[in-house]
Homo-oligomer: A and B are copies of this chain.
């Protein structure tokens, strides 16, 4: 099942490995209103640089060419030339303007694109375009991912059914800061570009920007939302507040599901944990505390060991840079309070908490009792397999 107005395709181009889907194409039969969010890492891959420039002018795109196996980052003039040549080939084959093509790459940094493989594959890719290949594209963008990440949702805008389908990849180098990894959302909604861009940025801020696997931010992160308009709903613009809010909520739920799939599939991860901080003076401070805890290797290895080691949590909180009174802090695992006013509640509570830690998903709830600021950050545990995966990744 696809989204009205879009065709997709994926092939095994042999970019890094043989016989593995590694090149995908998304094609909108008409120029789609397209919003993007890109990595804030100042070392940006060639495709990211090109996409940001192209979206700046029109907020429209008609195709996305995406490959795994090579990030085309830190590849200099050659990398830029290769990226431009790829988009030129796609544009020619689809008979659309070159600046309507968005590019996206993921894989090893510093290696040049295998242009021979890509050049040979593009005609096949275009020939294979069809309405039902969304899952194949989602598979083609996987690297260390162990599962394909896709979401489909529908929502009634007025009396018109609007569809959103999203895909994402990402398992390592994940601590987004503005956008993360690769994610593409297709929708047939009819919407203005400023509204779509605003909805995307707001959604990303509360979803992809709230997850962390390892505290590292990639050079290639991007999220694109493309709207074909084929649902023919009444046009959503700045005056249609209720419809915009409805669409935005649905988009955010798509982004959040994809973001949580990334955490759950974090490299080597066996658990998916929500760090919820309440009672901060400001939301920003709550986020900062949550993020510091969510990125602490000591906290994450304790989760892997299923050890309710709250001492490591409070030590991480203490170096977060946010002021609070340690003697007022409460900490709970789900609804089991193990620290009350900075002190251990006792052995019984810790035993209860240990049961919570055996679950695959749980919450750590921290109350600072300083104000009303609240935020959540989503993280995974830190396992032996994370180290194995990343010690071996290039070999």
Contact = CB atoms under 8 A, between A and B. Distances in A.
Contact of A387 (B218, B318, B323, B384): B384
8 contacts: A73-B315, A74-B344, A216-B297, A218-B315, A301-B387, A304-B391, A309-B394, A386-B387
Contacts of A173: 298, 312, 315
B394 A384 contact: no
A71 B307 CA distance: 18
A43 B76 contact: no
Interface of A: 40-44, 71, 73-76, 108-111, 172-173, 177, 214-219, 295-298, 301-302, 304-305, 307, 309-312, 314-319, 323-324, 326-327, 339, 341-344, 382-384, 386-388, 390-395
A387 to B, nearest CB: 5
B382 A110 contact: no
A302 B390 contact: yes
A219 B218 CA distance: 31
A355 to B, nearest CB: 15
A336 B116 CA distance: 31
Contact of A41 (B318, B382, B390): B318
B318 A219 contact: yes
Contacts of A384: 384, 387-388, 391
